[in-house]
Structure 1
Amino acid sequence: MNIRLSAAVLVALASLPLGVSAQSADLKGYYRYPALGPDRIVFTAEGDLWSVPISGGVASRLTTHPGEETRAVFSGDGKTLAFAATYEGPTEVYTMPLAGGLPTRRTYEGARALPVTFDPSGALVYSTRRYSTLPAVQLVSIDLAASGVTRVPLAQAVDGVYAPDGSLYFTRVSQGSFTKRYKGGTARQLWKFPAPQTGAAREATKLFPDYEGESTAPMWWKDRLYFITDRDGTMNVWSCDAGGGDLRQHTKHVGIDAASPSLRDGKIAYQLGADVYLLELSSGNTAAVSITLASDFDQTREKWVKKPADYMTSAHLSPGGDRVVMTARGQVFVTPRHLNRGGRTIEATRGAGVRYRDARFMPDGKTLLVLSDQSDQPNSPGEVEFWTLNADGSGAAKKVTSDAEVLRWEGVPSPDGNYIAHHDKHFRLFIHDVKAGVSTKIDESTVDNIEGLVWSKDSAHLAYAVIAPNTYRQVKVYTIASKATTVLTSDRFDSYSPAWSPDGNWVYFISDRNFETVVGSPWGTLAPEPYFDKRSKLMAVALKPGLRSPFDRTDELVTAKEEAKKEESKPEEVKKDEQKPGAPATDVKKNEAKPEAKSGEADGEKKDDAKKDDKKEAPKPIEIDPNGIQERLIDVPVPPGNYSGLFATEKRLFWRSSGSGDEAKTSLMALDIDADTLKKREFEAKAIVGDLGSAEPSADGKLVLVRKGDALFVIDAGSGPNADLSKAGVDLSGWQFAMTPREEWRQMFVEAWRLERDYFYDRKMHGVDWRGMLDKYMPLVDRVSTREELSDVIAQMVAELSALHIFVRGGDTRRGPDDVQPASLGATFTRDQAAGGFKIDRMFISDPDEPSRTGPLMQPGMNIRVGDVITKVNDTEALSAPDIHALLRNQAGRQVLIEVKHATGETRKHVVTPISMGSEGDLRYDQWEYQRRKIVDEASNSTIGYVHLRAMGSGDMADWARHFYPVFQRQGLILDVRNNRGGNIDSWILSRLLRKAWFFWQGRAGEPYWNMQYAFRGHMVLLCDENSGSDGEAIAEGFRRLGLGKVMGTRTWGGEIWLSSSNFLVDRGIATAAEYGVYGPEGAWLIEGHGVDPDIVVDNLPHETFNGEDRQLNAAIEHLQGLIKEDPRSVTPVPPHPDKSSGDNRKK
């Protein structure tokens, strides 16, 4: 019978399945990827394979490697297990006897190879990208006895099952974003590939052409195909007949998806939540299998973080610079600046299941201000609020704020400690009154985060930068007493990073207002466009009128004023004419002898004196006159550059200066602004520290904390150029701390939930009861015993939003000690026992115009051909290994000696340099792209150009330039964004395609050419497919909406809520959030969840595409040829030259 389960019941089942006592609940694990054998279920838990009787009970462990062993598949006889494992680093396919034994490696893909099934002949079928030129997952079978590999003749297939008649039912494509109820172009759908029949046409067909949702994981039993599908909104087990008809639903779970099903002998095992369920097809009964683990749950033991600096998220100096407070892995630590001179590193927090995001000293030097997600309410996930801690680690944390609605950023205390400035994810700026316990919103941006918070010395004013509606930042100052905001800069230039001058009369800032293009004109190849490098200038604004720039050159009027001021400031206690000869002009009392301190009082009196001496005068109140303030700007005498991170000390300005380009280094620069320098007017910016990460001063301005990578240094604020850091390092070598995984996992789960809430573009969370989702999935976290299992729970939760661009990845996962990477010769091989080696089947060919991308066996002078046989590798017999790539492990980039038996019978030795498997993937892709370009050139007689974009990043812009400009004058253009992985450069490409030719130049010789330079005058078409994603979809939609041409191919992925991937968890894992939705001028959301519908639908069918056909490309060529025939875009003929002769000068 079928059981309809509510979400609440499912949670209960996930937490404590039927038949499991409370006593045994502590021995329960988190069970994934069940495989059903004749009488046992093999599944993954704790990253290992386990075996348990079908009836349940105590499972026994089959594997023990520190890495992951997953996705087990039983052989037909039930005696052999195939599974994926990371024994040597990459995820490869292994087999082992069910009874136990040493696993045998079966693949050397260097990528993600996953077992799928065993075919009727007993060969193991697995999925891999290894053999496809265009990156696509395909199915490959391997004869376990002979190690021979055979490709299933389908261009795309991620899983499959064979029916008794030899037909293959398979899922064609899949996508990596975690989402439920997905109906986009890459939805998992079932196809049928008929068995080969003599004389019959053979092509795969979609099994359910009218259903846009997901159907996957095919299984065969008694003339019916079983699979999981989301037809009722939840993934459940269904079946159909061989032709896709007679649909039947077998499970009716609600709210939690069935996953990873495995069928054998009329039973289906599948994952539901954290458990394995078993469905009896004959009766229709389904129930959780009662499983416990005989395990020590090793990965849940207390764990030491050996290098916390790898997880450091903030570091700040104490007011006097003697200590540094750091946050790492969500905890707070205080360490002396000179640990080697004494002192200890203090673990200021021991918060179980709490993350401290940021920590800095309050002005008293004894208290820390921290951001924490600690909850002080039972059964509440908590919000990120400000708390205070004792810097010495004593006492309990004290809550400062209680009104957070969304993620808060840094808190900056005022110098007197009475106020805390902070901002949040909703672009709001607040000031919290510490004594009153009240936060007041003082500003809000409509564009992005507010930044650059810095207090004046008198704690009366806060300077900051806020983004104006035109996206330019403006520097503002908020005054506490008047509650007034003074706008220091206009929105005509981007101004940011404010810093108060030492005397409080000026606010320094950086502004992008230097516009000197490094490109002189649009002439030349690639139609160069202006590029404004070094736009930043250092500026200052006078806070009141009448202030002369401290950087101005002196003149006679200034000199006279300065002399007058000196005379007025002379002391009047003793007149010069009343002084005795040689007597100083001082008060007599100041020179009176003090009595000597009594024994035992000296230290105390010295301390008291020191305290008195340390008491600083109250800062001079800062005056601000807002009238005409934007007219009181001055330049700081520093050449323009690429600047950021400005701050000021008593005697210097500091800032970060970066070079140009992606690999440019950043330096800490300084400009002296002390009285002597200002008097001499000798200004020179100096590079203090190179290869800089970040820098900030101590509160007293005497020291600067420098971060380079994961290392911290404290330097004197007066350090000279190229400061010596050898003795300035903060000693972090002994810094370690312990953490409890389960507590951390629970915190990360809640934080993933909270960050998704705070980052997701829709505050209503697509109508989902988001708090309800936290409650729904939280019980599963208690079952988790590895970081990978936590990711599985998080993935199930975030998928409830039914949005794309949500990925769960990374984190502190356990890995094995080995990282042995295969290498490639840029070819595929067949094991040839008779020939004594591995025969070359195919060598991947790249564009001959780019010799740097040529494969290892294709190098000039090799003369190696398809059909030649490699008999030895580094003097080792090739056939001694199951796969030639086993002999190439760890050989990428190294010289390797191979012996080749050529087709002529001659045997020669060659020295080759293998490439990495990733580079081989690029090489295979190169061949695909090069072949498309050749096809277009040959079919069109070079009248149509071809440009393929693999993604939409800066490197792809280089590919655009490499391939578009040589064909810009052709009559047709195919822009191919199939398989495009996305990025953010669609506007660059579209703006170039929108260029129009509006006149022609013609000299006395040569052909005419047009303005705008490199405008494409011909007809265009864009190709997309189900693997066109993100910005690859945006450019397709833009191409059509802007009228550039037709879009051809198949419906795209459907991921158009963009993301920043900045919401990291404490262990550097992430559950990305979809942050920026896209809608059109008509007021409708675009693309998300559905994809871009092509104007002309053309599908590259799996079998014919495998055989080399590219139906979509051919259709694009035919389409353009038709347009060119109807409307040839030839250059307008040169008109007759004007006759400007007159009278007798006319030529006769």
Structure 2
Amino acid sequence: MKKILYSKPSKGLLATLVGAVFLSTPALGNDSTRLLRFADIHKDKVTFVYSGDIYVADINSGKSTRLTSHKGMETFPKFSRKGDKIAFAAEFNGSRQVYTMNLDGSGVNQITYYNDVGPMPPRGGYDYRVMDWSADDKHVLVRGNRLPWGVRMGRPYLVPVDGGLAEPLAVPETGGGMLSPDGKKYLYTPIDREFRTWKRYRGGRAQDVWIYDLENNTSEQLTTNRATDNQPVWVGDKIYFLSDREYTLNLFEYQKGSAPLKRTQHKDHDALWASAGPEALVYEQNGFLWRFDPASNQSKKLNIKINGNAEHLMPQFKNVTAQIESMDISKDGNRAVFGARGEIFTVPAKNGEIRNVSNTPNAREISVSWSPDGKNVAYLSDKSGEYEIYIRAQNGQGKEQRLTTDGSIWRFAPVWSPDSKKLVFSDKNQTLWSLTVKNKKLTRLDRSDTNDIEDYTWSPDSQWVAYTKQEDNGYGSIWVANVKSGKAQRLTSANTSDQEPVFDANGNYLFFLSNRDYNFSFSSYEFNYLYHQATRVYAAQLNAKAPALFPHKSDEVSLTAASKEEDKDKKSKKLEVEIDFAGFDSRVIALPGDAGNYNNLQANGKQAFVLRNQNSQNDLQIIDLQKNEKPKVVAENIRDYSLSDDGKKLLLRRGNDFAIVDAKAEQKFDKTKLNLTNLTLKIDPKIEWQQMYVDGWRILRDWFYDPNTHGNDWLQIRSKYQPWADAATHRTDLDYVFGEIAGELNAGHVYVNAGDQPRVDSRKHGLLGAEFSHDKSGYFKINKIFAGENWHDAFRSPLTQPGVKVSEGDFILAINGHSTKQVNNIYQLLEDTQNRTITLTLNSRPRIKGSWTAQVKPIAREHNLRYLDWVNQRAAMVEKLSGGRIGYLHLPNTATDGNRELFKRFLPQVTKDALIIDDRYNGGGFIPDRMIELLSRKTLNYWKFRGLKPNATPLIAHDGPKAMLINGYSSSGGDALPYYFRKLGLGKLVGTRTWGGLIGISGNPGLADGGLLLAATFRTMDTDGNWIVENVGVSPDIEVLDRPELINAGKDPSLERAVKELLIELEANPRKSIKAPKPPTNFK
């Protein structure tokens, strides 16, 4: 019987003057404490983040003082120019905001209130990055993520220390940056990659150092190296930056007119996060802080050691239901077994206690399966250093048995044979194995060179294993292997797409899913269609002697009756499954039920069970194999399920709730829901993180597309970063270490997603979809209202909703009766108002007389509104520059939103003479072959109807010239799109080189606490078999740099150049106007 195991792809705010509170770190002898992050320096003091809190330390003594103590993550502490205050970002009120405080932690003052973008993956960093103070210490320089083309991108703002609205610098976007000592210039990198961990990167998003003259609105590019140049700082009149032009990030000093001077000589680890004070700068390297002295050109590691008890390392009990990664049910349905956060638990259906049957806090157990005889559970455990297969008694008593000893590659879930004597499993070498429990003998059954073998199932006599192998044409085919002979044979042909085989309990039939329906639906916009709802449940007689399913019924007289002896002989006869391979396809029939989207097929002797996805949810259906009737529903909204070995019970999963029900129709999930309140573990973070460190390293080893890991000694990489993992005192530290390991692969799409880290309760602060200024009257003036598209909830603009009387230039006098004169930042009155009706008091003049009120619902983010405004501005610019001849559309990504935008904006503009496709800031998503197919369509012919203009086939196609805009943020699918655009000769590419990331992801296992290291599992080649694009990017045909002063002035150099080029093309080759000829008058 098949089991579904889904192990693969789930205190006070602030201590004001806490004093010298010392925290413990792993023993490092007399050395410094590791993983002091985001440091800044002022004379003999450094401030930094450690274990999520902010510290200040004396450089000479090494003594440190903890300034903040809060569950959330504090980041980016920066000394004021005088050195008497620190600005930093924190989550004290449920939203990340910027604060200032005194050097002893007192005098905490919040200075921003605009809603942050919320948690981002580690590669996205944080909103509200504090970067500097103004020369007079009256403003804090902050990078805020408010740009229209992506929530991870930001621009610099000056925030008044005494309160007020943040004012943007005249710089369109920024990575790290710093103001000149006099505050008149801004030293920065236009591109932000500081949280990206791709080492030795050479693609189109490589950073360069620029200076922006804030008085004259001019810019100067200081570096043009193909490598990464980032984190520029001023120390006096000298400029320093980090660069990996020699493949390890080191500190360089800028020399006008000549090559920069290399000032540090680090070879083993990158220098990171440089920050400057008035006399020196500080940076991270090998997990430690270093001070660089410009006077002597010498670097010295700082000896800062923190002792005591780190609160985030304290063991604590946690419910682990959310980390359940596999499940099964006992033969009689009295208990369920779960793999959750690295342990194996059994849970009673109703009465009794939850049991932890593995109890291995320093190892991880996954992929559990209950034996059909009910005695044992099998699972994978990495306690030996690699994942091996173990079994133990289901009650946790006695010793476990280790069945395999040769683990060197990731293994998939073991599944028991019906006689409980064998297990079948596969691995990341795409090999299928049978394992005999008694003698621990391994038998190789088959191997695939086109897919991982993951859906395998036993015959009821325990002699055959059925599974799916992918054909070269992409279809799946059903194969079976005999465990005795080791011979594998095909059952279904390559002409149909078949998957998920399962035997019936009597050995007569094989059930499977197959796409054999070719249903299509027409588009609402054009004569086009797609094939969908293609799957049904099918059955095939395994041999000619098997009785037919659903035989014709006829009531006849029984002339004889079977004797008791015959019945006894029949029951005692050993079940042997016979398979007639010849003519298998001719014995296939469809079971009752409509074609649809199905998965997770299981069966007993009388019913088949399957999940049907419709209306965005899975419903579990039951098919009666005795009656030729349509399926019935067992339960709705079921994520997964498992069928007991006696076929009488089902374990269901709905979200993170579970229930054991009868294997019948119309079951009540809530009535038999399992009580998982006590599914708890005592988590010791240091022990769990050590296991996760090895697991993450192992996942990259086993899932990265190149087994040679791009030439790395992967064991050496594990040793190299082990001291870093040992030093972790906060879950974000482990993500940082993972990022460094991932970076060693020198590949795109090797990402870290956060796991179980301290979270604060988010407060739903509101925004109004508008920009304001603080009027001299004390009220706030509406300078701009973003239009939005109110028919689409994601683009709802509160101030443009029907019935809201407000215009640009009006004043907001009060919010919910609180006068805006009472605050110096209007966003203070919008805290905790998201999607709640509020009352605005408005007037066209800054006075109460003549005012009116309006009720609106604030939104959480303005990004979509800013994006829509930016796109409409570009479209209007193209319309004006081209005299209406050229159309414009922007593609934010190649996923769902990007495909919608393409179709939405392409259709109305197909009659334009030419077209500009803007791929800048395209965040990727799907492989964009469907998008390029639409863009490359050509008219095949026209049709003339009486009295009407000719109509084209296809109706939606654009025959005119095209151009595509690209830049360093054109990423992933946004790399592939311009590559395809050029390959098909659709037009010129204008702008700068794209990101260069076409080593992609397709899914891999996660970590014990729900975190994830995404290993890049495939790489892109051209049609001649050459690697393409990766770490290079797609170069433009016409290079145009969108200089910041031009963007700030409302220009768009790349866009303007594309218009110019297309107008030249149209002049040389005007688009033809098709007119029907005069119809013929005779046919002689």
Give me the TM-score of the superposition, normalised by structure 2: 0.92
- Report the counterpart of residue 3 of structure 2 in structure 1: none
Write out aligned runs for 1:239-258 (5 A): 239-241=253-255, 243=256, 245=258, 247-258=260-271
CA displacement 1:39-74 (0-9 Å, x = unmatched): 211111111011110114231110001111121111
TM-superposed CA distance for 1:740, in Å, is 0.8
User: Which shows bigger deviation, 744-753 or 893-902?
Assistant: 893-902
CA distance in structure 2 between the partners assigned to 1:888 and 1:904 by the alignment: 20
Of residues 83, 87, 98, the one that matches 1:82 is 87
Question: Which of 221, 226, 234 is the equivalent residue of 2:248?
Answer: 234
Within-5 A mapping of 1:112-261: 112-122=127-137, 123-130=139-146, 136-145=153-162, 147-164=164-181, 166-175=184-193, 176-197=195-216, 202-209=217-224, 211-241=225-255, 243=256, 245=258, 247-261=260-274
- Name which one, 1 or 2, has greater alpha-carbon Rg: 1
Q: Structure 1 332/801 Cα, relative in aligned 2: closer, same or farther at 3 Å?
A: same
Match runs of 1:288-303 below 5 Å: 288-303=301-316
Corresponding residue SS for 2:901: helix
Question: How far is the alpha carbon of 1:911 from its aligned partner?
Answer: 2.3
Task: Work out the number of aligned pairs and report it.
Answer: 1045
Number of the residue aligned with 1:349: 358
Kept after mapping to 2: 8 A contact 1:427/1:446? yes
1:631-780 mapped onto 2 (5 Å cutoff): 631-659=586-614, 663-674=615-626, 677=627, 682-717=628-663, 719-720=664-665, 722-780=666-724
C-alpha RMSD of matched pairs (Å): 2.5
Pairing partner for 1:826 from 769, 772, 777: 769
Deviations 1:1012-1062 (A, max 9, x none): 231211111111111111101101110111111111111111111111344
Within 5 Å, give how 1:219-618 maps onto structure 2: 219-241=233-255, 243=256, 245=258, 247-305=260-318, 307-339=319-351, 343-375=352-384, 382-519=385-522, 526-547=525-546, 549-554=548-553, 567=560, 569-570=562-563, 617=572
Question: SS of the counterpart of 2:142?
Answer: strand
- Aligned partner of 1:509: which letter? F
Q: CA deviation at 1:88?
A: 2.0
Alignment of 1:887-902 (within 5 A): 887-902=829-844
Letter paired with 2:370: F
Q: Distance in 1 between matches of 2:1083 and 2:703?
A: 73
Give CA-to-partner distance per residue, 1:145-194, whole Å, 9 cap, x none. 35253211011122222334623211111235321111211112211113
Cα displacement (A) at 1:268: 2.0
CA distance in 1, matches of 2:77, 2:822: 28
Task: Find 1:54's aligned residue among 33, 37, 59.
Answer: 59
Partner of 2:1038: 1096
Are the aligned partners of 1:177 and 1:806 in contact in 2 as well (CA < 8 Å)? Answer: no
Residues 192 and 29 (structure 1), Cα distance of their counterparts in 2 relative to 1, 3 Å cut: closer
Judge conservation of contact 2:26–2:726 (CA < 8 Å) in 1: no
The yes-or-no answer on 1:624 pairing with 2:638 is no
Deviation at 1:274, TM superposition (A): 2.4
Task: Verify: 1:1060 aligned to 2:1076, yes or no.
Answer: no
Does the CA-based 8 Å contact 1:431-1:440 persist in structure 2? Answer: yes
Greater Cα offset, 421-430 or 1088-1097: 421-430
Deviations 1:1123-1145 (A, max 9, x none): 11111222333233223255xxx
Tell whether the 8 Å contact from 1:279 to 1:287 is kept in structure 2 after alignment: yes
- For 2:97, the equivalent position in structure 1 comes to 92
**TM-score between both structures, scaled by the size of structure 1:** 0.87
Rounded to whole Å, the distance in 2 between the matches of 1:25 and 1:747 is: 27
Instruction: Quote how far apart the aligned CAs of 1:259 are.
Output: 1.2
Distance 1:1033 1:103 in 2: 45
Kindly indicate whether the alpha-carbon contact (under 8 Å) linking 1:957 and 1:985 is maintained by their aligned counterparts in 2: no
- The structure-2 alpha-carbon separation of the partners of 1:1006 and 1:353, relative to structure 1 and needing over 3 Å to count, comes to same
Which residue in 2 is equivalent to 1:11? none
Indicate how the Cα distance of structure 1 residues 329 and 922 shifts in structure 2: closer, same or farther if over 3 A, else same.
same
Contact 1:119-1:162 at 8 Å conserved across structures: yes
Asked if structure 2 preserves the Cα contact closer than 8 Å seen for 1:452 and 1:498, the reply is yes
In the alignment, the residues of structure 2 paired with residue 134 and residue 499 of structure 1 have an alpha-carbon distance, to the nearest angstrom, of: 46
After TM superposition, give the deviation of residue 969 of structure 1 in Å: 2.1
Structure 2 equivalent of residue 909 of structure 1: 852
1:805 aligns with 2:749: yes
Contact 1:667 1:690 in 2 (8 A): yes
> Distance in 2 between the 1:21 and 1:551 partners?
69
CA distance in 1, matches of 2:170, 2:670: 62
User: Secondary structure in 2 aligned to 1:539?
Assistant: strand
1:449 aligned partner, one-letter code:
D
Cα distance in 1 between the residues matched to 2:571 and 2:601? 25
Q: Distance in 2 between matches of 1:516 and 1:193?
A: 59
Write the deviation string for residues 96-138 of structure 1: whole angstroms up to 9, x where unpaired.
Answer: 1112214211112322111111122322111012265776411
Shift in Å, 1:1068: 1.1
Residue 879 of structure 1 and its aligned partner are, at CA, apart by 3.0
Contact 2:798–2:859 (Cα < 8 Å) also in 1: no
The answer to whether the 8 A contact 1:56-1:289 is kept is no
Q: 3-state DSSP class of the match of 1:327?
A: strand
Relative distance call for 1:616 and 1:270 in structure 2 (3 A) is farther
- Tell me by how many angstroms 1:31 deviates: 0.9
Distance 1:146 1:390 in 2: 65
Distance in structure 1 (CA, Å) of the matches to 2:333 and 2:361: 30
2:827 aligned partner = 885
**1:927 shift after superposition:** 0.3
How far residue 1001 of structure 1 moved from its aligned partner, in angstroms, is 0.7
For residues 803 and 648 of structure 2, what CA distance do their matches in structure 1 show? 65
Q: Note closer, same or farther for the CA distance 1:527–1:473 as it changes in structure 2 (3 Å cut).
A: same
1:984 maps to 2:926: yes
Letter of the structure 2 residue corresponding to residue 790 of structure 1: L
Gaps of 5+ in 1: 1-19, 376-381, 574-585, 588-614, 1143-1148
Q: Aligned to 1:724, what secondary structure does the other structure show?
A: coil
Q: Tell me if the contact between 1:1060 and 1:1075 (Cα under 8 Å) persists in the aligned partners.
A: yes
The 3-state SS of whatever aligns with 2:115 is: coil
The sequence identity of aligned pairs, in percent, is 28
* SS across alignment from 1:253: coil
> For residues 390 and 228 of structure 1, do their structure 2 counterparts lie closer, same or farther at Cα, with a shift above 3 Å needed?
same
User: Residue 518 of structure 1 aligns to which amino acid in structure 2?
Assistant: S
Secondary structure at 2:727's aligned position in 1?
coil
Deviation (angstroms), 1:881: 2.6
Secondary structure of residue in 2 paired with 1:957:
helix
Give the unaligned 5+ runs of structure 2: 1-24, 117-126
Partner Cα separation in structure 1 for residue 364 and residue 259 of structure 2: 53
